[in-house]
Amino acid sequence: MTGFVSFVSSGPGDPELLTLKAVKRIRDAEVILHDHLSTIPVAAHAQPGTKLVNVGKRAGHPSTRQDDINRLLVKHAKTGARVVRLKSGDAGIFGRLEEELIALTTVGIRFEIIPGVSAASAAAAAVGIPLTRRMTARRVQFFTGHDITGGFPNDVNIGALADPAATSVVYMAKATFPALTKILIAAGLSPDTPALLAEAVSTPQERSAAYTIDTLANHLIALPPEHDAPTLIIYGPLATPSISFD
């Protein structure tokens, strides 16, 4: 028997941001492989008896290897089970989705992808800003703040990242943003460019604060090592909150 895998986007943390289709797939699932940040929707919607497997990854913490996740997906699907692979945010944004799709297609297992609310969209909504604006912010770019070594990637288009007319969203950037800021300023981006630091987006622990790229870099340098809340950074002409959470 061959089962079916639904790649379900759980959103950034708030269960109410799940789509109706996502909730249905979670309720129908016999096996759910979920990320570390996707446990709230599992507890809220999974049926009793559903097999829950935590395959989450966290920087600086013990994590499930990607090869093992791929193997588990194939293993459970081959039993004929309805499998949900629950991913944080939107499954297609920095979730290593393609690697899992390849593992399934290689052995002929069918799948579907259910999109969801990204952390970037939720962070912007929480502070009352758009991600685009006519004339002054007509482009949005998402990029990762580190490569497989933990440092800032050295193969990115710095000119694009330093574009003052773009909204730039940096995932997993807390450790490398100070180094990135130096690069951006050297490439011509003003140190006074607005920047938003969003932590634990759409969860009860959510915190957002406004900086410039320069002051944010200094803030991150001063953070203690144990400060490990999931972090997103938005910088560009729109990164000035209109809602205060003080």
Whichever domain contains 127, its CATH number is 3.30.950.10
Q: Is there a domain that residue 241 lies in?
A: no
pLDDT of residue 42: 75
pLDDT of residue 150: 77
- What is the set of active-site residues? 35, 57, 172
Q: Is there a domain that residue 201 lies in?
A: yes
Same domain flag for 26 and 67: yes
Same domain flag for 58 and 123: no
Same domain flag for 158 and 127: yes
- Those residues of the chain that have pLDDT short of 50 are none
SS (H, E, C) the chain: CCCEEEEEECECCCHHHCCHHHHHHHHHCCEEEECHHHHHHHHHHCCCCCEEEECCCCCCCCCCCHHHHHHHHHHHHCCCCEEEEEECECCCCCCCHHHHHHHHHHCCCEEEEECCCCHHHHHHHHCCCCCCECCCECEEEEEECCCCCCCCCCCCCHHHHCCCCEEEEEECCCCCHHHHHHHHHHCCCCCCCEEEEEECCCCCCCEEEEEEHHHHHHHHHHCCCCCCCCEEEEECCCCCCCCCCC
Same domain flag for 124 and 93: no
Query: Rounded to an integer, what distance in angstroms lies between the CA atom of residue 223 and that of residue 229?
Result: 11
Q: How many domains does the chain have?
A: 2
Host domain of residue 87: 4-114
Query: Rounded to an integer, what distance in angstroms lies between the CA atom of residue 111 and that of residue 25?
Result: 12
Same domain flag for 148 and 220: yes
Q: Is there a domain that residue 105 lies in?
A: yes
pLDDT of residue 131: 96
Q: What pLDDT digit, counting tens, does each position of 128-166 carry?
A: 999 999 988 999 999 998 877 778 888 889 999 999 999
Q: Hey, which residues does 167 pair with through a beta bridge?
A: 140
pTM more than 0.75:
yes
Q: In 3D, which of 117, 108, 107, 115 has the Cα closest to residue 25?
A: 115
pLDDT of residue 67: 95
Of 92, 114, 136, which residue sits at a domain end? 114
Matching residue, tokens 């003052």? 164
Q: Is there a domain that residue 246 lies in?
A: no
pLDDT of residue 245: 53
pLDDT of residue 38: 56
Q: Is there a domain that residue 104 lies in?
A: yes
Q: Is there a domain that residue 242 lies in?
A: no
Same domain flag for 14 and 104: yes
